[in-house]
Amino acid sequence: MNIPGIVKELVLLISPALPYLAPAGEEMLKKVGGNLGTAISQNAIKVWTLLNSEIVLKPPALEEALKDVSKNPEDEDAQASLRLQLKKLLESNPELTQKLSEMMASSEVKKEIISITQVARDHGVQIGYVSGSVTNK
């Protein structure tokens, strides 16, 4: 399994959603999950729910990385820290890695991971990054 690839896509998917998901916890997701669809993706909710249910005791460094990305989802340094912590977690948990790999491989999730960031500056538009893949069927 390509753990670095899984982790990269995982962080791209959940980073924008973490401000809504991380402090919410599972109970809030159950109460308002259906209403969060406009603010965050259902795929991010599914992935976060799996991660949260599988990680009972989060290592302190992972907790800190999640908090940092929750505070500033676009911070590349915070995302790098989260990628590193998730990589360590997946390397030590093959069962979780397999579940996430299957989830991340679905065409529905792949389409969502393609991400284009545009930043408008001084009457111009800059393309920040394009990442991901699409499978045509």
pLDDT of the residue at 118: 34
Cβ–Cβ under 8 Å, residues 54 and 94: no
Please report which confidence band the pLDDT of residue 27 belongs to, taking 50, 70 and 90 as the band edges: low
| 59 falls within a domain | yes
In a domain, 137, yes or no: no
Number of domains in the chain: 1
| pLDDT above 90: percentage of residues in the chain | 28
Asked whether residue 13 is domain-assigned, the answer is yes
**Over pLDDT 70: what percentage of the chain?**
64
**Residue 7 included in any domain:** yes
* Sign of torsion over alpha carbons 100, 10, 114, 80: negative
Residue 20 has pLDDT above 90, yes or no: no
Asked if residue 136 belongs to a domain, the reply is: no
Q: Examine residue 44 and state whether it is found in any structural domain, yes or no.
A: yes
Q: Give a yes or no: residue 88 inside a domain.
A: yes
How does pLDDT run across 110-132, given as a tens digit for each residue?
Answer: 666 654 333 333 444 444 444 44
- Which structural domain range is residue 12 located in? 3-131
pLDDT tens digits along 68-115: 998 998 899 999 999 999 999 999 999 999 999 998 887 677 666 654
Residue 45 covered by a domain = yes
